[in-house]
Amino acid sequence: MLSFLQYLIALVIGAHAVAPPGVPPAVPRVGPIVVTFAVFAVLAALRGRTLARVVRVAADDGLPAFARTFLVGRIGALIAFGIVMQGFDGRELPAAIGVADWVLVPHLVRLAVFAAFLAILRVAFHPAGRDLGVVPDSAIRSVGNELGQALLPLGPILPVFALWDVFTLAPSGTRRAAAREILTRLPVSQSVLMLLTIGVALAVMPFILRVIWRARPMPPGPLRTRLEAYAERVNLHARDILVWPTGGSQVNAAVVGALPRLRYVFITDGLLETLEDDEIEAVFAHEAGHAKRGHVPLFFGFSCVLVLMQVLPGALGSAYAEFVASVHPLTRAVVGLLFWVGLVFGYVSRRFEQEADVFGIETLPQPAPDDGSTPDPADHPFGRALERIADEVGGIREAKGWRHFSIADRVIFVQAYLSSETIRRGYRWRVGALRGTLILAIAGFTLAALAHLPGELATVPARWRIERDPLMSVLQPLSVATQPERLPIIRAIALVSSADLARRAGRHGTALRWLREAARLAPDQPAILAAYGGALEGADRPRGARLVYARIEALQGVSQAVRDAARERREELAAEARDHGR
């Protein structure tokens, strides 16, 4: 689990509490940062040497020991990274090297610090991993594989950070800065934009992974013909079947992409070297199950629920929302990731993996024995493939994973599913209930967001005029209201801004008419009334201006200074009128 989550947690730690625009950033403490790296490197090297001896002496316990130690090392890397970023102001490294105002680059700089910790860990543990055959022969290639795996969790998220940087780094007074100020006040619209960006990133991810993983099309031959025939039989559409070179260190396969024409099936060289053709076909059928059962769209919808439940009014309940708001933002983000992705997402993922297993064994029936007897469930190609992978890697048969049940449990389930109709009925009911619950949750939150969007978007024109007009900055606090009862005020603000534009264009009559309507819509707003009074003065209508200033004097809940200013101006106009006989 941590190998997937760690990059997301590192991204959150690095981005948290960065100095906002206009505030001088803290200076990273280089000395303590260097010491942290040195201590981490020494500890990793010592533990790596000990682990290498354990692997050589206790072959049977070598892989579990390596996995446990590497997990602890990853946690240590996260802790060291947190100390550097938050304790020693390493989060301000982009400012120190002059790239703080670059789009996306600051996030990559901070992530590079975390990647350095992982590289140290990979190099220190490489001798033990090489002896076990779970890492490439080259330490440099092992580090490269680690960084390549980071694309899976970070690939869809980094474009969101890039898009937000485009707005947050915009100079004041620009259209992008105005759009930023508007988006910060429209939480549902902002979340929908973010989710759309993630959706686009997911669509192009297969092409990026193909390049990063250096995957090549599977060469023509009996195996490719066999896999293509299976894909045609189950109506699986993918752009290509690719071989993923890992130096034989990974025995795995993956289907990447939600859309048929934007999808690849990746098969590692280690899997091809380990399994027989019918077993490879069984693993391919499992990956086809992910695509045919729509797991990628469901996972994306599942993530949308997480985002929308935090921004839709009332989705969390007022008491819970207040409690969450009281928690430190960094703690809230990390705990939220661990709970949602680590526990809830992991639970759903294990059931989807099981559903893909079922799809594979149902669409790839065993051939009947020559004697006409019933096929032995223990001899199904998929079960044999799992057992062969367990034997080849060693020490993982009983290991339970974040996204998978253990190989032992999966083999038992496959055999039981093939043997018992009762088990098949029970499984279908459970997976149907899970899918139904997910679909209802996704549909419910999607409909709630769509219902909320029109109210937010209706305020955009008024907010845009306000943000784009420096003269209206004094009225900006009024624009935060989005309740229906406050919409007349927002319309009045928009009219005031439009009137100023009309005045600058020489259309004084139009400006006066719009200000009169604004005063009618917001008769209790002194700033709007003052703008109307000033326009009347400019149109040489002092009597009307005096009446407007008298209305400001009579307002309740207005400061005495505002009343005094209106009274003084009204008296000045009255004196001028007497002097001119008006």
At 444, the pLDDT band (50, 70, 90 cuts) reads very high
Predicted confidence at residue 485, as pLDDT, reads: 54
The answer, yes or no, to whether residue 15 has pLDDT greater than 70, is yes
**CA gap 503, 501 in Å, rounded:** 5
- Which secondary structure element, helix H or strand E, spans residue 255, and what is its range? strand 253-256
**CA gap 119, 140 in Å, rounded:** 9
**CA gap 265, 243 in Å, rounded:** 9
**CA gap 111, 257 in Å, rounded:** 25
DSSP for residue 244: E
At 12, the pLDDT band (50, 70, 90 cuts) reads confident
Dig out the tokens for 3 from the structure. 């190998």
Pairing of strands 264-268, 253-256: antiparallel
pLDDT in tens, 485-540: 556 777 787 788 778 777 776 677 878 888 888 888 888 888 888 888 888 888 88
Picking from 7-11, 20-24, 240-244, 545-549, which range would have the lowest pLDDT averaged per residue? Answer: 20-24
Domain boundary among 151, 174, 202: 151
Predicted confidence at residue 266, as pLDDT, reads: 95
Question: For residue 559, is it within any domain?
Answer: yes
Residue with the bigger pLDDT between 403 and 127: it is 127
**CA gap 418, 422 in Å, rounded:** 10
In 3D space, the residue among 493, 539, 542 whose CA is nearest the CA of residue 519 turns out to be: 493
In 3D space, the residue among 267, 125, 43 whose CA is nearest the CA of residue 134 turns out to be: 125
Question: Hey, what amino acid is at 180?
Answer: R
The answer, yes or no, to whether residue 484 has pLDDT greater than 80, is no
Q: For residue 266, what are the β-bridge partners? A: 242, 254
Percent pLDDT > 70 in the chain is 88
pLDDT in tens, 123-182: 999 998 888 877 878 888 888 888 877 888 888 889 989 998 888 888 766 778 778 878
First to last CA, the chain: 83
Predicted confidence at residue 580, as pLDDT, reads: 67
Picking from 26-40, 148-162, 306-320, 428-442, which range would have the lowest pLDDT averaged per residue? Answer: 306-320
Phi and psi at 266, nearest 5°, equal -100, 135
Question: For residue 81, is it within any domain?
Answer: yes
In 3D space, the residue among 197, 204, 301, 195 whose CA is nearest the CA of residue 262 turns out to be: 204
The answer to whether the beta carbons of residues 542 and 582 sit under 8 Å apart is yes
At 121, the pLDDT band (50, 70, 90 cuts) reads very high
Q: For residue 242, what are the β-bridge partners? A: 217, 266
Expressed as residue numbers, the domain containing 530 is 460-579
Give 221's Cβ-side CA count (13 Å radius): 6
**CA gap 297, 295 in Å, rounded:** 6
Q: CA 85, 39, 120 angle in degrees (round to 5)? A: 80
DSSP for residue 368: P
Question: For residue 129, is it within any domain?
Answer: yes
Predicted confidence at residue 86, as pLDDT, reads: 85
The answer, yes or no, to whether residue 38 has pLDDT greater than 90, is yes
**CA gap 40, 2 in Å, rounded:** 19
Question: For residue 286, is it within any domain?
Answer: no
CB atoms within 10 A of CB 352: 23
Question: Hey, what amino acid is at 186?
Answer: L
In 3D space, the residue among 232, 282, 227, 284 whose CA is nearest the CA of residue 253 turns out to be: 284
CB neighbours of 251 closer than 8 A, spacing ≥ 6? 268, 270, 271, 274, 389, 392, 393
Question: Hey, what amino acid is at 529?
Answer: L
In 3D space, the residue among 263, 257, 211 whose CA is nearest the CA of residue 237 turns out to be: 263
Question: For residue 389, is it within any domain?
Answer: no
Residue whose token pair is 């006066």: 512
Per-residue pLDDT averaged across 554-580, rounded? 82
Predicted confidence at residue 481, as pLDDT, reads: 44
Q: For residue 217, what are the β-bridge partners? A: 242
DSSP for residue 458: T
Per-residue pLDDT averaged across 207-228, rounded? 92
Predicted confidence at residue 37, as pLDDT, reads: 96
At 426, the pLDDT band (50, 70, 90 cuts) reads very high
Domain boundary among 151, 167, 200: 151
Q: How many residues does the chain have?
A: 582
Domain boundary among 151, 175, 210: 151
- Which secondary structure element, helix H or strand E, spans residue 184, and what is its range? helix 175-184
pLDDT in tens, 48-93: 999 888 877 765 567 778 888 888 999 999 999 999 998 888 888 9
The answer to whether the beta carbons of residues 499 and 519 sit under 8 Å apart is no
Question: For residue 464, is it within any domain?
Answer: yes
Q: For residue 67, what are the β-bridge partners? A: none
Per-residue pLDDT averaged across 304-316, rounded? 79
Mean pLDDT (the chain) is 83
Question: For residue 36, is it within any domain?
Answer: yes
**CA gap 45, 128 in Å, rounded:** 11
The answer, yes or no, to whether residue 388 has pLDDT greater than 60, is yes
CB atoms within 10 A of CB 109: 20
Predicted confidence at residue 319, as pLDDT, reads: 64
Burial of 225 (C-beta count, 10 Å sphere; 0-12/13-18/19+)? exposed
Q: How many domains does the chain have?
A: 2
**CA gap 522, 486 in Å, rounded:** 10
Question: For residue 56, is it within any domain?
Answer: yes
Predicted confidence at residue 471, as pLDDT, reads: 42
CB atoms within 10 A of CB 326: 8
At 231, the pLDDT band (50, 70, 90 cuts) reads very high
Q: What CATH number did the domain enclosing 485 receive?
A: 1.25.40.10
